[in-house]
Amino acid sequence: MKFKSLALAAAVLAALAGPVSAQIKEHVFKVGIGLTEDHPQGQSVKHFAELLAAKSGGKMSAKLFASGTLGNDVTMTSALRGGTLEMTVPDSSTLVSMSKPFGVINLPLTFNSELEADAVLDGPVGQKLLARLPEKGLIGLGFWENGFRHVTNSRRPITKADDLAGLKLRVIQNPLFLDTFGALGANATPMPFTELYSAMEQAAVDGQENPPATILASKFYEVQKHLVLSRHMYSAWVLLMSKKTWDGLSAQEQKIVQEAAREATLFERKTIRAFGDKALGELKKVGMQVTELPAAEQAKMRAKLQPIVAKFGKEFGEDTTAELMSELAKVRGAAK
């Protein structure tokens, strides 16, 4: 009797599972990134692939194409919109040209901690930003952390805000980055990330700005001597899928992608924070001279950048900027 009950239950489950499994077809999503395979971003794409496979019974997966082999953030994002590439993980600043409110994430000296950024990007502000993407041919699956950005250069240590003056620094191809470093007296030079190492090696630029994980994984210490922990800007990536790819998925497949993306986002943040903590120690070991701006110098930097925050806060959308600042105030109030 017990056997018959178990057999009946199994038959019922099989009948229920049949239509669901039929909705899951073979998919291998190509994922292009500009960073290296062993960078936390690359590791997290691989983890996302494993999650897809586990949740789909091996039918869905993702294949990583690292180190800019499929192009830079701009060209890969364009390929997603055209439907010739399935996924990429660009810096959020890449999306500003098509949706200005994404720029609020990078407003200088806004976030005080990674946890503040998590709360804002996972909350209403971040979700409203992602909701803007489908009309641009993109699906936003979550915000991944790049981290707080710091300045490196090959010429001199930076111990005060004025020391940035005169340095030729590569920045992301974005007006906010250009104006931010222009206000600090640097010669800001826009350039694709894939061209950066050779530009520093050939002294075409004096330095750049990125989080420690990227500085270490990209071996910038080979061509850069000085690192200042400026924390001038928080940087996030956006896990993107082509809307054409998304629209070709069944409801069950879309659910699997969303679930895998959520879990991969938590994995990525944990991984990059652990890597970033170790990265500073490793950079010191390989000979980089690391300095930290005193609080007074950080305050001077903040004062210099207030006109930039005001200008771009309006440009990115006063409503979005106000909502971001309101949400930050709530998060800080709750933390007290």
Look at strands 226-242 and 87-88 and give their pairing.
Answer: antiparallel
Q: Which residues of 291-323 are buried (b: 16+ CB within 10 A; e: fewer)?
A: eebeeebbebbeebbeebbeebbebbbeebbeb
- Helix axis angle, 114-122 to 251-285, nearest 10°: 170
Q: What is the pLDDT of residue 6?
A: 42
Banded model confidence at residue 307, pLDDT cuts 50, 70, 90 = very high
Whether residue 1 is contained in a domain is answered as no
Longest dimension (CA), the chain: 85
Hey, which bits of the chain come out as E strands? 27-32, 60-65, 87-88, 138-153, 168-171, 187-190, 207-210, 226-242, 289-292
Whether residue 269 is contained in a domain is answered as yes
Average confidence (pLDDT) over 12-24: 55
* pLDDT tens, position by position, 92-114: 999 999 999 999 999 999 999 99
Question: Whole-number mean pLDDT of the chain?
Answer: 93
Per DSSP, the three-state class of 144 is: strand
Whether residue 12 is contained in a domain is answered as no
Whether residue 218 is contained in a domain is answered as yes
C-alpha to C-alpha distance for 245 and 159, rounded to whole angstroms = 48
CA dihedral 134, 138, 144, 147 (to 10 degrees): -100
Q: What is the pLDDT of residue 4?
A: 47
Whether residue 272 is contained in a domain is answered as yes
Sign of torsion over alpha carbons 48, 28, 79, 246: negative
Banded model confidence at residue 225, pLDDT cuts 50, 70, 90 = very high
Query: Domain containing 120: what range?
Result: 25-325
pLDDT surpassing 70 at residue 296: yes
DSSP state at residue 322: H
* pLDDT tens, position by position, 120-151: 999 999 999 999 999 999 999 999 999 999 99
Q: What is the pLDDT of residue 2?
A: 41
* pLDDT tens, position by position, 31-58: 999 999 999 999 999 999 999 999 999 9
Q: What is the pLDDT of residue 335?
A: 84
Average confidence (pLDDT) over 17-27: 73
Whether residue 18 is contained in a domain is answered as no
pLDDT surpassing 50 at residue 9: no
Whether residue 16 is contained in a domain is answered as no
Structural domain total, the chain: 1
Q: What is the pLDDT of residue 18?
A: 45
Q: What is the pLDDT of residue 269?
A: 98
CATH of the domain at 54: 3.40.190.170
pLDDT surpassing 60 at residue 10: no
In 3D space, the residue among 279, 93, 283 whose CA is nearest the CA of residue 171 turns out to be 93
Whether residue 155 is contained in a domain is answered as yes
pLDDT surpassing 60 at residue 13: no
In this prediction, what percent of the chain has a pLDDT beyond 70? 94
Q: Which residues of 41-64 are buried (b: 16+ CB within 10 A; e: fewer)?
A: bbbbbbbbbebbbebbeebbbbeb
Structure-block tokens of residue 160: 């005060």
Banded model confidence at residue 200, pLDDT cuts 50, 70, 90 = very high
